[in-house]
Amino acid sequence: MKDPGKLTPRKLAEALRGGFDYLQLNRGLLDRLNVFPVPDGDTGSNMASTLASGIDTIGSEPPSTFKALADRFITEINRCSRGNSGFILARFFHGFFEIAVREEALSVPRLAECVSNGAFHVNGALFAPTEGTMISILSAVTDALTKTHHEDVASALDLMDDAGTRALFRTPDQLPVLARAGVIDSGALGLLCIFRGMAGALTGEEPVKEQESDYRFEPNPSAGAVEAESPSYRYCTEAVVSRNGIEDESLSPWLAAMGDSIALVKDDQQIKIHIHTNDPEGIFDRLKTLGTLEHTKVDDMTEQTRLVSADAGGSEDCAVLAFVPGEGFERFFEDLGVDHCFIYSDSLPSPQDIASAVDRIPAEQVIVLPNNSNILPSVMSAGGLTEKSISIIPTKTVIQGITVSYGYSSDDSAAVNVVSMTEFIDDAVGLFVYRSAMDTRFGDRELKKGDWFVTRFDQVLGAAANPSDAVREAISSLKTDEITEASFYHGDGFDPRELENVMSAIGEAIPDANLEEHFGGQEKAALIISLE
């Protein structure tokens, strides 16, 4: 068996190829485990697509320095990342290579720094890092590498696998939606597949096709609360400190008392901190005693709004870019003054796709409405690929996108519009009607292939053998006494008779509501319903 010793740039390139091969072999499994919120999961596909874009840049002759490797690899995966899992993967390797480029070869302690800095960048890039996901794997492997006495990289990668595997099987305890579905987190497993493939490439082992039964277990319908609780800590806070030489041995336990989701990276020159806290200024004041604050960032996780450009308030040269799941939605945004729509289908847009769309808009400030929680990460990445100022309103559905557009005025600046538009984000209830593509479980729901089910965000509100009964059940769980408008956006091929039955079901449940039928053209949801 080969002993890789330190990790050279060429060996890292070989390891990355091995990680991709292992991930690619198991992408179908990851997609199947990614059962929430809809059965046609895409975690494996998004991670493989993201990593493939970087692997393709390595070529047959890998670069001889980490910087040359990073210039190829990182540029491409940042540009082409797909979905939440792809975004996290891109940010992890961005942070990893930020440390690696300083070295000629990576010892185990340096590898630990690379992984730790990768985890820091992931935590800092997300609005609200969630335990029970890829975040937990990164935390576990970082902790294990930091404490290990192993001196060869292959043993360190095996250690990452051991620590990550233990964390993987804890994910259902941390994220009740996984326990209710009877699965581990698919993104977390995807990350482990990459680490396993990297280790195997260095020791001459072939990729292994994982057994799905190893990652499924008896669902627990009563696990956790269905409704997400408000975060205990409001502000996602990040800081980079240029050190003055003062040591603070009590910093770590003090941070633990100040918040959670903590990522702390230290070297002789800098301290980097990510934390969820209710006292960002207190964090900054403590850090000022250790050096100069080079960078700070605070996101309000309650409002979930980020104005990316600090100087976006002055100019009134402003436009909105909305992402829509079908061509039929364009005219509704146009009627509200939103002239720029990006139509997507099964393939989600990459950061480069988004940046290119932003660059084509004749305005210096662009407000972006992702209208899909899986597009939001790519929108956040796109900010670094364009010279324009991007402001993000993190709309999770196209219905939220339509309602926030009520607050848009082309006469106002981006800063003013972001505030006014965000006030409308909860003015409508969006229901999404799907047909199950497989036998599966959502929470306490057993769904058979062919069943119809209705979701609102991450909850299944109704399920039945036909869409109208599923909608009836969903409506019965909602407060409807103030609803006056119901709009029905159907996709291609939705049976007109079924649409009539669904509209009748809504009409019976909300007799005073005005009912309107529209062509949406979306591919995934058979029907999208807006209740205002």
DSSP character at residue 263: E
242: part of which helix (H) or strand (E)? Answer: strand 235-243
Q: Residue 95, Cα to own-chain centre: how many angstroms?
A: 17
Residue range 232-256: average pLDDT? 85
The residue ranking higher by pLDDT, 280 or 23, is 23
Q: Do residues 460 and 39 lie in contact, with contact meaning Cβ atoms separated by under 8 Å?
A: no
Q: How far apart are CA 127 and CA 116, in angstroms?
A: 19
Q: For residues 209-220, give the mean pLDDT.
A: 92
Among 211-225, 344-358, 361-375, name the one with the lowest average pLDDT: 211-225
**Token reading at 39:** 């059965």
Question: Per-residue pLDDT tens for 279-312?
Answer: 888 898 999 999 988 777 666 666 544 443 333 3
Range scoring the smallest mean pLDDT among 11-15, 235-239, 329-333: 235-239
Cβ of 216: how many Cβ atoms within 10 Å?
15
Three-state SS for 204-265 is CCCCCCCCHHHHECCCCCCCCCCCCCCCCCCEEEEEEEEECCCCCCCHHHHHHHHEEEEEEE
Q: What is the mean pLDDT of residues 217-235?
A: 68
CA 259, CA 237: separation in Å to the nearest integer?
Answer: 10
Average pLDDT, the chain: 86
CA atoms within 13 A of residue 284's CA, in its CB half-sphere:
15
Dihedral pair phi/psi, residue 226, rounded to 5°: -70, -40
The answer to whether 276 and 260 are in contact (CB under 8 A) is: yes
For 55-100, what is each residue's pLDDT tens digit?
A: 999 887 878 999 999 998 998 888 888 877 888 898 899 999 999 9
Beta pairing class for 389-392 and 365-369 = parallel
pTM to 2 decimals? 0.68
Q: What is the enclosing helix (H) or strand (E) of 515? A: strand 514-519
Select from 135, 269, 272, 310 the least CA-distant residue to 283. 272
Phi, psi of 406 (to 5 degrees): -60, -25
- Residue of 168, 150, 227 whose CA lies nearest to 459: 227
pLDDT in tens, 106-135: 999 999 999 999 998 888 777 667 788 899
Query: Could you give the count of Cα atoms lying within 13 Å of 442 in the half-sphere of its Cβ?
Result: 28
- pLDDT over 70 at 228, yes or no: no
